[in-house]
A and B are shown apart, each in its own frame.
Chain A
């Protein structure tokens, strides 16, 4: 039945995508996070939706069949991403022979980066920025809604395992990805015009909070808690933000099962927890491999091969002292941290570029805040920038405990911040007849020169 529904929908979606490049681009993005084959049982599950819509978008872009296309100009974000791609390309070529998934992860990353860079052709208006956020919400938010409702109806008994065959194939990865969607859902709740749609986004937001709890991921829970704290700090409406956070806390306290509390309580005694110490061991192996290959690392997920893992001693790494008398793993493991994942895979230079992309995202958000501080007509841009920055923040915090460094949505959010900055810059150009930050023009209402920030 689902397959027939999907077939019917595709008969509507494909013609629209073939006639509009940005529509095809939105479907391309949606298919990359929704994991269509996971939800199909029959013949529609074997189709390569992502590849199809990517080819349609690129074809329409090349033949010039796209409305309001911007010329591609290099910007700070795209330069940093291209440098990172160049570095990981060399790293993939020079990868250790035992890195079995090296090229599959590399090509996946290339596809994600292609998607991100194509964004600068299309996303050049508020309408398109908003449409991009909706596409992300329809992708990630759907998982949050479905899993959150399952958690609710089973009173926390439902065990979330993630989406097999995707980058969210683990409960921890899945949890962090959902936390990243929360600020975007909150923005869409605040800024959607139709009341029913607004309430719909609020419902998805609350269900996603439940899904994060249901994932039983301590890292995702910590990321969500810190995200709530940051939301209260950055929000212009601190009272409303606090209300949301209290609602979230109430949800956690009322709906979480006893086993969940027992698991979360182990955060405080991490040094006695085998799962956490296993992570420290993995981080230590990553640093040892990076010290052996400081410039290009060992290639994508090479440390997961037994030859490399057992080829280093605990004392070879920078964190060997933290392991103490902990029993060492009998098999090779994932890095369990975006930072150590990149460090082991691409060396110190790779990590530096990865951190530069991350830092640049927050600098971009701060710049948007500063540029829109005196512009009441761009208040939405400041709120959107805050939402995207909070999404990045969730990734930087939650990612500290999971191997999710090549997660597409993160790079999409980083590029959306840059696209938003470009849009705001275009609005502030003196040639447009509008004012520069701090300069009041006659058409602006009295009091508009006041800095539009909460006290």
Chain B
């Protein structure tokens, strides 16, 4: 089990650094971390309100 988890951990590290390298090659506005990317908006009231407005920049 430990070996499988360790392998999974290393795979995620590879995904992270691949995403970082790919992001650095993109323009600043288009950068993300792929599957490990962050939410632009969170699902609380404020963020929901922001997302509800079409075209509004969400947090």
Q: Judge if A252 is at the interface, Cβ distance under 8 Å.
A: no
Interface positions of B from 6 to 21, Cβ below 8 Å from A: 6-7, 9-14, 16-21
Q: What residues of chain A lie closer than 8 Å to B11, measured between beta carbons?
A: 9
Q: What residues of chain B lie closer than 8 Å to A22, measured between beta carbons?
A: 20, 24
Chain A contact-residue range equals: 35 or more
User: B42 near A191 (CB under 8 angstroms)?
Assistant: yes
User: A39 near B20 (CB under 8 angstroms)?
Assistant: no
User: A39 near B56 (CB under 8 angstroms)?
Assistant: no
A439 to chain B, nearest CB (A): 17
Q: Judge if A100 is at the interface, Cβ distance under 8 Å.
A: no
A208 to chain B, nearest CB (A): 13
Q: Output the residue of B13, B35, B47, B49 with the most chain A CB within 10 A.
A: B13
If over half of A's interface residues share one DSSP class (helix, strand or loop), that class is named, otherwise mixed; here it is helix
Q: What residues of chain B lie closer than 8 Å to A135, measured between beta carbons?
A: 13, 16
Q: What residues of chain A lie closer than 8 Å to B44, measured between beta carbons?
A: 236-237
User: B42 near A142 (CB under 8 angstroms)?
Assistant: no
Chain B contact-residue range equals: 35 or more
User: A20 near B13 (CB under 8 angstroms)?
Assistant: no
Interface positions of A from 309 to 350, Cβ below 8 Å from B: none
Q: Judge if A12 is at the interface, Cβ distance under 8 Å.
A: yes
Contact of A26 (CB < 8 Å), options: B20, B53, B58: B20
Task: Select from chain A the residue with minimum beta-carbon distance to B6.
Answer: A39
Q: What residues of chain B lie closer than 8 Å to A130, measured between beta carbons?
A: 33, 36-38
User: B59 near A376 (CB under 8 angstroms)?
Assistant: yes
Contact of B38 (CB < 8 Å), options: A67, A191, A379: A191
A120 to chain B, nearest CB (A): 17
Q: What residues of chain A lie closer than 8 Å to B23, measured between beta carbons?
A: 127
Residues of A within 8 A of B (CB): 1-2, 5-6, 9, 12-13, 16-17, 19-20, 22-23, 26-27, 30, 34, 39, 67-68, 125-128, 130-131, 134-135, 138, 142, 145-146, 149-150, 190-194, 197, 236-237, 376-380, 383, 443, 445, 447, 452
Residues of B within 8 A of A (CB): 1-3, 5-7, 9-14, 16-21, 23-24, 28, 31-33, 35-40, 42, 44, 46-47, 49-50, 53, 56-59
10 pairs from A and B in contact (CB 8 Å cutoff): A13-B17, A39-B2, A127-B32, A127-B33, A138-B12, A142-B6, A146-B6, A190-B42, A377-B57, A379-B42
Q: Apart from A138-B16, A146-B5, what 8 extra A-B contacts exist at CB < 8 Å? A: A146-B1, A191-B39, A192-B36, A376-B59, A377-B57, A379-B46, A443-B57, A445-B53
